[in-house]
Amino acid sequence: MTAQDGHDQAPGGARADARPMRLTVLGATGSIGTSTLDLVARDPERFEVVAVTANARAEDLARLAIRVRARHAVVADPAAHGALKAALAGSGITTAAGARAICEAAALPADMVVAAIVGAAGLGPTLAAVGQGTTIALANKECLVCAGDLFMRAAREASATILPVDSEHNAVFQVLERDNVEQVEKLILTASGGPFRTFALEEMRGVTPDQALRHPNWSMGARISIDSATMMNKGFEIIEARHLFPLRADQIDVLVHPQSVVHGMVQYRDGSLLAQMGAPDMRTPIAHCLAWPGRMGTPAQRLDLAALGTLTFEAPDPVRFPALRLAREALAAGTAATAALNAVDEVMVKAFLARRAGFLDIVTTAEQVLERMAGTTGFGEMTCIDDVFAVDETARRLAGEIAGNGS
């Protein structure tokens, strides 16, 4: 079952049995991971944490693992294993390291796996979690950008449930009448517009990583913050929505909404426009997934609409934010193109953060790599996950060559 279908748990969110939910959090030290574990720590009786994982931040991971009494803690970077073992000595929490160990942790029996690793690195572990046919709270949108149909097919075959954590998709999921999908005219994903919403193109040319990381409303990891500034993140979200919901690409709209209060909307044939609103705090959509199909409490700030007074909306500017067009073109070209787009973006965001590339180079290079790949090999059919990794590798190499930064 996926976000496209109905639900199979007890109405009102009551779990069929009263035992705690066995939960694994991949990417536990990140922005989504720590928000998830904050909710877990506030309601410890409700959860039994099976495993928590990170890349290299061993001490942070150990602290979190102890706080939520996790059974296993795993780092992807073998060099961080010593520090993890030392920090967890005597705690009874078992440890492991390496990319394979992350996949093994993802496959440990759990009622829900929160997929919150950043980037294409999350694909393998999330697929390992999907393979156990459990519920995936999916934050790692790159799974869908890189492997779209393949990922959703794997979920269907394993009878895994995919719940969207991304605030816009979670909003749509909350207001989408799954029995009335054919009555939907369109989805609207809102976008804050990022820190450069009002900047002229020429002004954007010289912006620094510090400026780009300063998102006006959301506190997030570095990669998604930069992607929000270029609006590539919104482009990825169009791709994500196309795979999560049974709608065509031309039924997925983007609307700039600087206050980030309305997260997503669904417009029906009768003219009704249903919206989900909330303070910009990822604990709300995460809690929606953790408790689905019920609800649970969160400390997220409650909206005071009278104090807010005005909510504004505007169309995105395709000239200053070409990433939206590029993502739509890649979506039309197929999963190989969207996987390539993600790979170039990962390389270029890293280069920008390291001051080896300019802000505008991120999208320009992506466009050049996609053009080159379409012109030489073309974007063929992706039949297996190895095809995804092959495209990813080619796109990274070309991005390095074009950007001339050796990234």
| Residues lying near ligand NDP in the complex (CB under 6 A) | 27-33, 54-57, 76, 102, 116-118, 121, 139-142, 166, 218, 220-224, 282
Structure token pair of residue 66: 């102890």
The span from the CA of 14 to the CA of 21, in Å, is 11
Closest approach of Cβ 168 to ligand NDP, in Å? 8
φ/ψ region of 133 (left if φ > 0, alpha if ψ in -120 to 50, else beta) reads left
Query: In terms of CB distance, is 330 or 402 closer to ligand NDP?
Result: 330
Q: Nearest-CA neighbor of 192 among 325, 89, 82, 311?
A: 311
Contacts of 319 (CB under 8 A, 6+ apart): 201
Task: Look at the block and give the residue holding tokens 């197929």.
Answer: 334
Closest approach of Cβ 160 to ligand NDP, in Å? 18
Query: In terms of CB distance, is 62 or 402 closer to ligand NDP?
Result: 62
Closest approach of Cβ 258 to ligand NDP, in Å? 17
Closest approach of Cβ 183 to ligand NDP, in Å? 28
Query: Do the Cβ atoms of 279 and 260 come closer than 8 Å?
Result: no
Query: In terms of CB distance, is 118 or 262 closer to ligand NDP?
Result: 118
The span from the CA of 175 to the CA of 155, in Å, is 23
For residue 378, the 8-state DSSP code is -
φ/ψ (deg, to 5) at 279: -65, 150
- C-alpha angle 387-390-395 in degrees, rounded to nearest 5: 125
Query: In terms of CB distance, is 277 or 374 closer to ligand NDP?
Result: 277
Query: In terms of CB distance, is 233 or 402 closer to ligand NDP?
Result: 233
* 299 class by beta-carbon count within 10 Å (0-12 exposed, 13-18 middle, 19+ buried): exposed
Closest approach of Cβ 221 to ligand NDP, in Å? 3
Closest approach of Cβ 26 to ligand NDP, in Å? 7
Closest approach of Cβ 175 to ligand NDP, in Å? 18
Closest approach of Cβ 60 to ligand NDP, in Å? 6
Query: In terms of CB distance, is 299 or 380 closer to ligand NDP?
Result: 299
Chain residue whose CB lies nearest ligand NDP: 30
The span from the CA of 245 to the CA of 177, in Å, is 11
Query: In terms of CB distance, is 227 or 361 closer to ligand NDP?
Result: 227
The span from the CA of 239 to the CA of 313, in Å, is 22
Query: In terms of CB distance, is 223 or 320 closer to ligand NDP?
Result: 223
Query: Do the Cβ atoms of 234 and 191 come closer than 8 Å?
Result: yes
Query: In terms of CB distance, is 125 or 322 closer to ligand NDP?
Result: 125
β-sheet bridge partners, residue 262? 277
Closest approach of Cβ 61 to ligand NDP, in Å? 7
Structure token pair of residue 376: 């030489």
Number of other CB atoms surrounding residue 20 within 10 Å: 15
Closest approach of Cβ 302 to ligand NDP, in Å? 19
How distant is the alpha carbon of residue 240 from its chain centre?
9
Query: Do the Cβ atoms of 315 and 230 come closer than 8 Å?
Result: no
Closest approach of Cβ 252 to ligand NDP, in Å? 17
Query: In terms of CB distance, is 346 or 402 closer to ligand NDP?
Result: 346
Q: Nearest-CA neighbor of 141 among 49, 50, 227?
A: 227
Contacts of 344 (CB under 8 A, 6+ apart): 365, 366, 369, 370, 395, 396, 398, 399
* 138 class by beta-carbon count within 10 Å (0-12 exposed, 13-18 middle, 19+ buried): buried
The span from the CA of 263 to the CA of 288, in Å, is 14
Query: In terms of CB distance, is 126 or 402 closer to ligand NDP?
Result: 126
